[in-house]
Structure 1
Amino acid sequence: MKKAEQGFSLLELITVMILLGILSVTLFSRLGPVSTAAVQSGRDDIIAALFFAQQTAMMRSSGGNIELQLTTHSVSVTENGQPIRVAADYYPLALPQGVNATPATFVFDKLGRTTANTITLTGSGNTAGTSAVIQVEASGYAYAN
């Protein structure tokens, strides 16, 4: 008896390829442009540094000597003017290439409070046209708009 050949027909393979193409176009179009990734990464780095500075100020008994300094291309958290170590690295932390921030300084008291301010990040070069806004409340709470 002759054994039936196994495998997919050409029609089945083409149908699967067309369906995968439609699914990939649909999913990737929802992710947004790649150029926003650097600005979003910079935004997240700054929010994490703000949270770290607030928590460090509340943890120290003296308080008031924890400062976050934001320059155009970096963010730094210092205690008594000295960079604080985070894991294996020290601040300042460089923002992603092509991301510029509005310079600002935040001093945290022992209750984690600081001055209210707005930080704007803008993209340049490959990330031109993208931006992000970080709102810092007087309570020290920071969030992205």
Structure 2
Amino acid sequence: MKKSQHGFTLVELVTIIILIGILAVNVLPTFDGSASYEAHSHRAQLISALRLTQQRAMQQTDPDAVAADQPYCHQVIFDKALNVARYGVPNRLDCSVISFAGWQPDATGFEVDKKYQVSFDIDGKANPSAVTFDSMGRPIANASLSLANNCLGGCTINVHSSVETLKIRIESEGYIHAI
């Protein structure tokens, strides 16, 4: 009499489970859309822009300009107009400029495409907001904005997407990091 075998061996079952695990790790994140990826990439770009502005503040300390009360402006402004979130340095010579009229994105600025629904704020306050650095790389107050919209003494910058909120922390002594 012949015995028939039905089912899978243990090796076959383990192999299938491993293949399903590999597919799940590689395929499932694509069903979330690109919003999560966009938030992470914008957070990384924003950290780079903040660090660049901070380094410029620490390197461009012209004593003649400071004595003449015309030092460079080392700040990053956050704004949202016409449903477009943006950040950048609208004017390096005048810290009272907090609008982006005529501004073109550069190494310290970016304009988010509307389709990604990414926005920024400092400690949950309404924009415009600003992070201004002194010659030691520490966040200070911008006289053109209320104290609530500044990063004086450290702050948390929120990067909002339709999927999650990512955070960037600027400590009172100038350390910038993702949390």
Coarse TM-score class (shorter-chain normalised): 0.5 to 0.7
CA distance in 1 between counterparts of 2:159 and 2:21 reads 33
Structure 1 vs Structure 2: percent identity of aligned residues? 21
Point out the structure with the larger strand share. 1
Unpaired segments ≥5 residues, structure 1: 1-14
Aligned counterpart for 1:107 among listed residues 132, 155, 162? 132
Q: Deviations over 1:1-47 (max 9, x none)?
A: xxxxxxxxxxxxxx8xx688435314326868443101111111111
State the distance in 2 between where 1:105 and 1:89 align.
17
What residue number does 2:147 align with? none
Hey, what's the Cα distance between the residues in 2 that align with 1:64 and 1:89?
17
Does the residue aligned with 1:132 lie in a helix, a strand or coil?
A: strand
Q: Which amino acid aligns with 1:60?
A: Q
**How far did residue 92 of structure 1 move?**
3.4
Q: Contact between 1:65 and 1:109, CA under 8 Å: does it hold in 2?
A: no
* 1:141 and 2:175 matched: yes
Contact 1:68 1:76 in 2 (8 A): yes
CA RMSD of aligned residues (A): 3.1
State the secondary structure of the residue aligned to 1:46: helix
- Classify the secondary structure of the residue corresponding to 1:133: strand
Deviation at 1:120, TM superposition (A): 1.1
Q: CA deviation at 1:51?
A: 0.2
Distance of 1:129 and 1:55 partners within structure 2: 32
Q: Which of the numbers 93, 99, 103 marks the counterpart of 2:110?
A: 93
TM-score for both structures, normalised by structure 2: 0.56
User: What whole-Å deviation, never above 9, does each CA across 1:38-67 have from its counterpart, x for those lacking one?
Assistant: 111111111111100100111102366211
Instruction: Kindly report which structure 2 residues correspond to 1:19-30, keeping only aligned pairs within 5 A, or say none.
Output: 21-22=19-20, 24-28=22-26
Residue segments in structure 2 that go unaligned for 5+ positions in a row: 1-11, 63-70, 122-126, 140-151
How much does 1:107 deviate?
1.4
Q: Secondary structure at the match of 2:20?
A: helix
Q: How many residues align?
A: 121
Alignment check: 8 A CA contact 1:64 1:109 kept: no
Letter in 1 for 2:137: G
Q: What are the Cα deviations for residues 85-130 of structure 1, in whole angstroms up to 9, with x where unaligned? A: xxx946531135310111321111111111211111211xxxx231
> Residue type of the partner of 1:95?
V
Q: Residues 24-63 of structure 1 correspond to what in structure 2 (within 5 A)?
A: 24-28=22-26, 33-34=32-33, 35-62=35-62
Task: Check the 8 A contact 2:120/2:159 in 1, yes or no.
Answer: yes
